[in-house]
Amino acid sequence: MHKIFHNQQVFLTLTLALLSLGSLFLRDAYSINLAIWMALAALCAASLRFVTLIGELNFAIAAFYGIGAYGAGAALTVYNIPFLPALLLGGVIAALVSLVFGYVTLKTKGPYFLLIGFAFTEVMRILYARSDWLGGNSGMVGIFPPSAFGSYFPFFAIGLCSVMILALYLIERSSFGKVLTAIRDNDNVVLSVGINVHMAKVVCFGIGSFVAGIGGSLHGFTNNVISPGDFGFLLSTFALAYLKVGGENSPFGPMLGAIVLLALGSVAMGMGAGEHIFYGAAIVIAVLLFPNGLVGIFSWGYKKLVLDVRSKGEALHESRPAAKPLHKKEQVNG
């Protein structure tokens, strides 16, 4: 059991490293841009997945992504703060706002929390549109990464997304991550052994929002222009689509979902069709046929093809120290 998890960690690290390095070999501007958007989409979906550890659907993710983008954008263009501190500031502002927001709203659960997140996202969008110092309706322009990056900015952005996706996974595997999962399963039990459930939820939400905020900052630096309409609730919906299509039970799910759906979307754009039709169809198919998403299909295929073909004794013996307990179960029941 532990060995498999350990392997997954290594596998995830390798995949992320390869994807980041692979982006260095992209030559045409369109592919490079698409790769960055895929990385940002994967990051959003990973952040959303992180908050699902406590059992909540964070529809406010678009708001914190937006706060990150506007925070970094304003720091750079209004206050002339240099690139790296500005980038970091986007994440920090998003995290700080989310800690206050989470402290108040995480007393609610399920649909109530989701609706508050949705409302907050819309409030923030209207707030940007009404704030002239943030560019109002037409948005903010001139958010450029330093020229010293040259052509390496895409690699930097994708690499940073990868590092954060990996960091979220490592937190999920830690004791704190176990506490979060336990809260989703049964928060009363966690509270009854003396763990501050509310604070754990707020911190989880804060971490997810920090990551979303950094993602938003990178969005601004990639697009050079941001406007209120970029950060509506549709962004949260798409993040959810990447997560569901990719598979929410695995750390690979968000990446796989984002890459596949954005690739489909770019093909659909080329054909002159709306990408949203593809997204819609993909979500319906994924939810109806593959509840564990694309990752579910892959792991099913892996089991069918690799494990069945391999000499049965070896593979099965290793993964089943359960023979003894099964025997005991009968004893206790009988």
Binding site for another protein (CB under 8 A): 1, 175, 178-179, 181-182, 184-186, 188-197, 321-322, 324-325, 328-329, 332-333
User: With contact defined as beta carbons under 8 Å apart, do 43 and 161 qualify?
Assistant: yes
Cβ 197 to another protein shortest distance, Å: 8
Alpha-carbon span 40 to 124, nearest angstrom: 20
How far the first Cα of the chain sits from its last, in Å, is: 29
Q: How far is the CB of 190 from another protein (least distance, A)?
A: 6
**Sequence-ordered strand ranges (E) for the chain:** none
Q: How far is CA 317 from CA 273, 308, 321, in A?
A: 51, 13, 7
Residue closer to another protein (CB basis): 146 or 291: 291
Closest separation between CB of residue 299 and another protein, Å? 16
Smallest gap, in angstroms, from Cβ of residue 309 to another protein? 26
| Residue among 288, 249, 243 at smallest CA distance from 261 | 243
Which H or E element spans position 91?
helix 83-105
Q: Which is nearer to another protein, 185 or 308 (CB)?
A: 185
Q: Least distance (Å) from another protein to the CB of residue 180?
A: 11
Nearer residue to another protein within complex by CB, 27 or 320: 320
Structure tokens at 212: 């979303």
Q: At closest approach, how far in Å is the CB of 203 from another protein? A: 14
With respect to another protein, which residue has the nearer C-beta, 178 or 317?
178
The minimum distance between CB 321 and another protein, in angstroms, equals 7
Smallest distance, another protein to C-beta of residue 3, A? 11
Residue in the structure block whose two tokens are 């009363």: 188
The structure tokens listed for 122 are: 């819309």
Give the residue from 5, 206, 191, 7 showing the smallest Cα distance to 98: 206
DSSP single-letter state for residue 259: H
Which amino acid would we find at residue 106? L
User: What 8-state DSSP symbol labels residue 306?
Assistant: I
- Secondary structure class of 109 (helix, strand, coil): coil
The residue (of 27 and 328) whose beta carbon lies closer to another protein is: 328
Cβ–Cβ under 8 Å, residues 17 and 166: no
Q: Between residues 132 and 185, which has the closer beta carbon with respect to another protein?
A: 185
Six-digit token string for 116: 């508050």
In the bound state with another protein, the residue whose beta carbon lies nearer, of 109 and 178, is 178
In terms of Cα–Cα distance, which of 5, 6, 3, 8 is closest to 252? 8
Query: In what helix (H) or strand (E) does residue 105 lie, and over which residues does it extend?
Result: helix 83-105
Nearest CB to another protein, comparing residues 178 and 304: 178
| In the block, residue with structure tokens 């569901």 | 244
